[in-house]
């Protein structure tokens, strides 16, 4: 069982917006604004999409945004495109001993 809880799957039509939740505890998500999100296409390495809760690395589309409320972080993808279909993982800093914990992943299907 993963430390962070994500829905197993979400779906949306092209052009629509979807949100993926990531629920942790007061020891990780709730204590730090240090959630990152990764996109993983089949057979590929994960790609950093959001870091420090809401920041986008250079080259990542502004259709991707991150937020947090309490112990739950969220990734929102607006203007869905076929290329967004992938698995998405959240990851939270959890202190100097544990370092990081991952979510179980969410499969995004673009209908």
State the residues that interact with other proteins by CB under 8 A.
2, 32, 34, 36, 38, 44-48, 51-52, 57, 89, 91-93, 96-105
Provide, rounded to whole angstroms, the least separation between the CB of residue 13 and other proteins. 26
Provide, rounded to whole angstroms, the least separation between the CB of residue 45 and other proteins. 4
d(CA 95, CA 61): 30
> For residue 35, what are the β-bridge partners?
92
Provide, rounded to whole angstroms, the least separation between the CB of residue 105 and other proteins. 5
DSSP state of 33: S
Kindly tell me which of 2 and 79 has the beta carbon lying closer to other proteins.
2
Give the CA distances from residue 81 to residues 12, 24, 73, 77, 111, in Å, rounded to whole numbers and listed in that order.
Answer: 9, 28, 22, 9, 10
């Amino acid at each position: 069982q993963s430390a962070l809880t994500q829905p197993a799957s979400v779906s949306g039509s092209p052009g629509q917006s979807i949100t993926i939740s990531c629920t942790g505890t007061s020891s990780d998500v709730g204590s730090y604004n240090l959630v990152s999100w990764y996109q993983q296409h089949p057979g590929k390495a994960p790609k950093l999409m959001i870091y420090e809760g809401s920041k986008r690395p250079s080259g990542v589309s502004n259709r991707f945004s991150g937020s947090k409320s309490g112990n739950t972080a969220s990734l929102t993808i607006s203007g869905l495109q076929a290329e967004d279909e992938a698995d998405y993982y959240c990851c939270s800093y959890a202190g100097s001993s544990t370092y990081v914990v991952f979510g179980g992943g969410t499969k995004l299907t673009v209908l």
